[in-house]
Chains A and B, each alone.
Chain A
Amino acid sequence: MKYFRSHVLACIDPECLSKGAHEIIDALQDELVAQGLIDEVQVLETSRIGGCSAGPELMVYPEGIHYAGLTVDDVPYLVEEHFLKGRPVKKFQYQLEVTTDEELGPPKPKEVRVVLRNCGQIDPNNIEDYIAEDGYAALAKVLGEMTPEAVIDEIKRSGLRGRGGAGFSVGKKWELTRAVPDYPKYLTCNADEGDPGAFMNRRVLEGDPHSVIEGMIIAAYAIGASYGYIYCRAEYPLAVKTLNIAIQQARSFGLLGDNIMGSGFSFDMEVRMGAGAFVCGEETALIASIEGKRGEPKPRPPFPSVKGVWGKPTNNNNVESYANVPQIILKGADWFASMGTEKSKGTKTFAIGGDVNHAGLIEVPIGISIREVVFDVAGGIKDGKGFKAVQIGGPMGGCLSAEHLDLPIDYESLTAAGAMMGSGGLVVMDDETCMVDIARYFMEFTQDESCGKCTPCRVGTKRMLEILQRICNGEGRDGDIERLEMLCAMIKATSLCGLGQGAPNPVESTLKLFRHEYEAHIYDKKCPAKVCKAMIRYEIKDNCTGCMVCARNCPVEAISGQRRAVHVIDPSVCVRCGICMQVCNFNAVAVV
């Protein structure tokens, strides 16, 4: 084995790639060769490091220095200063301290990383890196010292609940599958993380794939499964690639396959790729898709624990649930149960998006308040605007308003408030967001993703969308709000699977909290947030300098005016695309 004095982890997730990470890595290699340092400094490709959106990121070890936003031109200087002269370059460093906090303090508004502990810290393509961080120690403990019943008992005692959204006890699920006297048994890992804005699992799969694989092997031992499938979205090509490498390495280390660690227990697995159908995140649809069929949900019971893949007992958990397992086995159920609330234990990863200063991924103890997450962890609302709402739980979740800021984030509290934990998407909206438009947007999503099998979901969501569309187009009618409410109740009560049952949630919650906005659209034909195109006009104010930039950029030539004279927008031609407002350097375009 070769030893290096320094390791550079370079992030190659799609975000960094889109900002030129490959060019940076190439330049870095070239420069290291030029300086004769290539045998001393190793460059490794890894998944996300920071959560910063500044551009290509590097993490240099052993110093633990985090560089971000580099350009190719910066590389020679960086190599000379840092690697040749040993002087870290301050101006390239990422401003925020990277939290690698594993200490479990009292519940404070800060992150506690259990699932994400290795992400960005180790080379995901090298199993030895994972093993050096206690990787597969839990598996050794399970196979060497524990009976399957003891494993199930430990997971049950930890209070771990399914992180895919429903929050069912993981240990209980394992116990149910174990008890079914039908063989072979299968294991599925739901990595079809389709909720828009929820990309927590992507980062786990790309940054620490072995934690998921180890968790799955332990689960397989506990329930007596012989084969596993990781069902991963095709939208995550890097995750699929990383997983395949990781599975291959685990196999060559004897951690997958026959007679694992000489215990007599055999288990193997493969990655199955989805093909772009949201509903396949539903477990019965996921199973149908693994079998090569249309991913349509089936009525339950029978539950997958009785009849799953190929009609055999199947245990299905999501990525984050499995990734928690090795840590629970190693550190004990009591350690895990010491985090979180009475009924919801441990930590939860969330992907925060929308109008916040630090969009990205976080892992916090369950029970933290929404206020702490939005203002302390995510750095508050962008551009100093006000907080309006947070949409939590994905497209089947609900919106919560400012009055819910102090609500603790746990399964029960969120459900009671009309939202849900979901898989962990959290979209924050500022005070310039139109809630009717948001509701319409989510309905558009669920309507599009409805698989069409059951009528309430297929037809009901379509009717709801039509009503929302006409409200946004300024054609709302008296009685539309009541019609929406009736449809919400009906679709919720009669749909076959979680998609349909949850589809009305965004509308229902916005109707409850922002009813006045619906009323303004319908009765006053006004969009209070000035978002809905049919109810707004663009106007050029008197401070227009007549530079003609807007007129040149207008795609429909709706803007006229002489050079150095105030321009005019013809509202009958204008398509309200907003380009003029974006290109104006003088802030002279206004929405009225």
Chain B
Amino acid sequence: MTAASQNGKDALQIAREIVMQHGPTRDELIPILTDISHRLGYVSPEVMHEVSRLIGMPRSQLFSVASFYSMIAIKERGTHVVQFCENAPCHVVGGRKVWNALRETLKLNAGETSPDGKWTLITTSCLGLCSVGPVVVVDDDVYGNVDAAALPEILARYE
């Protein structure tokens, strides 16, 4: 998640590399956009424009695909992305309390990024880690059996 530190040119360069790696064809569009989103933090309008040029597909169609899939970010995200699993197995073992505490602590709602660009809070679909729910993922680190009291300590690791 280094979007903030990359200037426009670098981002376009990275996007071009990713497109070439997969091959500039429509059926590779989802892997391309997912990779770009993961590497750059999100798919910016400039990057979208470049991908559209390389694949030879209208930007409107690109946008319709990008906005459909939750793993493709089209809004800039914070330095650390906190994902919360809000699915039933986590929900019934106290997930809602953790979720509320998470929103309180970060002062964010789902999908929001803090004004200082540090945190983005999103919900995720089931990660299949149901036997250790509730589950919170910060960047790529997975935390299981989380309760509200454990949150400050987890988040402090990313200060």
Contacts and interface: CB of A to CB of B under 8 A. Distances in A.
A18 B128 CA distance: 13
A233 B149 CA distance: 31
Given A14-B127, A290-B27, A582-B149, A196 B87 contact: yes
B132 A18 contact: yes
Contact of B97 (A292, A433, A577): A577
A553 B149 contact: yes
Contacts, number: 159
Interface stretch (A142-150, A256-264, A353-361, A559-567): A353-361
A235 B128 contact: yes
A36 interface: no
Contacts of B34: 234, 273, 275
Interface string A271-294: 011111110000000000111111
Interface stretch (A109-117, A197-205, A336-344, A364-372): A197-205
Nearest to A203: B128
A134 interface: no
B5 interface: no
A273 B149 CA distance: 35
Contacts of B72: 275-276
Interface centre among A198, A296, A553, A578 (most CB of B within 10 A): A578
Given A196-B88, A295-B69, A359 B131 contact: yes
Interface in A228-287: 233-236, 272-278
Contacts of A159: none
A326 to B, nearest CB: 24
Contacts of A140: none
Interface stretch (B11-19, B74-82, B139-147): B139-147
Nearest to B145: A53
B41 to A, nearest CB: 15
A63 B52 CA distance: 58
Given A292-B65, A294-B65, A582-B149, A273 B31 contact: yes
Given A235-B124, A276-B70, A451-B68, A582 B148 contact: yes
A427 B88 contact: yes
Contact of A275 (B71, B89, B97, B142): B71
Interface string B70-114: 111000000000000001110111000100110011000000000
B129 interface: yes
Nearest to B69: A275
Contacts of B4: none
Given A273-B34, A290-B27, A579-B149, A391 B131 contact: no
Contact of B125 (A51, A194, A359, A555): A194
B155 interface: no
A429 interface: yes
B128 A193 contact: yes
A18 B130 contact: no
- Size range of the interface on A? 35 or more
B21 interface: no
A544 interface: no
A355 B93 contact: yes
Contacts of A449: 125
B149 A235 contact: no
Interface residues of B, number: 45
Interface in A184-233: 193-199, 202, 233
Contact of B101 (A195, A274, A555): A555
Given A18-B144, A354-B89, A427-B92, A277 B132 contact: no
A53 B132 contact: yes
Given A51-B131, A194-B126, A15 B144 contact: yes
Nearest to A17: B142
Interface string B132-159: 1100000001111101110000000000
B129 to A, nearest CB: 5
A441 interface: yes
Given A427-B92, A577-B101, A199 B128 contact: yes
A395 interface: yes
Interface of B: 25-31, 33-34, 64-65, 68-72, 87-89, 91-93, 97, 100-101, 104-105, 124-133, 141-145, 147-149
- Which are the 3 A-B pairs with shortest beta-carbon distances? A196-B87, A353-B89, A199-B128
Interface of A: 14-15, 17-19, 51, 53, 193-199, 202, 233-236, 272-278, 289-296, 351, 353-355, 359-360, 391, 395, 425, 427, 429, 433, 438, 441-442, 445, 449, 451, 553, 555-556, 575-579, 582-583
Given A15-B144, A196-B125, 20 more contacts: A14-B127, A14-B128, A14-B129, A18-B142, A53-B132, A197-B126, A235-B124, A275-B34, A277-B68, A277-B70, A292-B25, A292-B26, A296-B68, A351-B130, A353-B93, A353-B133, A354-B92, A449-B125, A575-B100, A582-B97
